[in-house]
């Protein structure tokens, strides 16, 4: 039997992804030229901080059934797997794309798309009784980032 996850597992990863995203944007803001770009990137970092807090609050509000482990996992391998994915797949710890706003936004846009793909895939592994519908909230937040980034990429290009 394959691993099943619950909404709690996904909120754990969502919080980590938001932390990684905030670090990405702050690092980029400290390297990019131009006050308007710096401010925009710092604003994005702040949005990631806010999303992290929202997801952490949503995680606290989960019902017991949505936090109960879906599979027997005495070594907490599901959590380790999800943490590794957050660190390597979405806003993974890598070299920054340079100090040009276009490159930074392009990289950020790809990371947001990757995060949505990740959440859509993980959603399929969560039984309805374990909070599957809660993942839609995360996906909607990430989609709003894509719209914002795409708009700025067009504006700054």
Q: What is the pLDDT of residues 16-60, one digit of tens each?
A: 888 888 999 999 999 999 999 999 999 999 999 998 898 888 788
Q: What is the pLDDT of residues 73-107, one digit of tens each?
A: 566 666 676 666 656 555 455 556 778 999 999 99
pTM, to two decimals: 0.76
Please, is 113 exposed, middle or buried when counting C-beta atoms within 10 Å of its C-beta (0-12, 13-18, 19+)? middle
Q: Which domains does the chain have, with CATH numbers?
A: 7-156 (1.20.1260.10)
User: What confidence category does residue 1 fall into, taking pLDDT thresholds of 50, 70 and 90?
Assistant: very low
* CB hemisphere CA count around 48 (13 angstroms): 24
Q: What is the pLDDT of residues 99-156, one digit of tens each?
A: 899 999 999 998 888 888 877 877 777 777 666 777 788 888 889 989 999 999 998 7
Q: How far is CA 37 from CA 54, 59, 91, 113, 148, in A?
A: 26, 33, 19, 21, 14
CA-wise closest residue to 107 among 121, 95, 124: 95
């Amino acid at each position: 039997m394959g691993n099943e996850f619950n909404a709690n597992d996904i909120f754990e990863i969502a919080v980590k992804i938001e932390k990684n995203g905030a670090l990405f944007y702050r690092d980029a803001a400290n390297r990019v030229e131009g006050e308007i770009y710096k401010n925009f990137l710092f604003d994005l970092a702040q949005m990631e901080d806010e999303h992290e807090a929202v997801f952490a609050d949503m995680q606290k509000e989960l019902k017991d059934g949505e936090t109960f482990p879906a599979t027997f996992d005495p070594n907490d391998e599901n959590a380790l797997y999800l943490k590794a994915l957050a660190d390597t797949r979405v806003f993974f710890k890598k070299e920054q794309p340079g100090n040009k706003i276009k490159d930074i936004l392009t990289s950020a846009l790809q990371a947001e798309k990757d995060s949505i793909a990740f959440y859509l895939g993980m959603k399929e592994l969560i039984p309805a009784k374990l909070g599957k519908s809660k993942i839609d909230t995360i996906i909607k937040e990430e989609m709003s980032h894509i719209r914002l980034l795409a708009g700025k990429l067009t504006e700054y290009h």
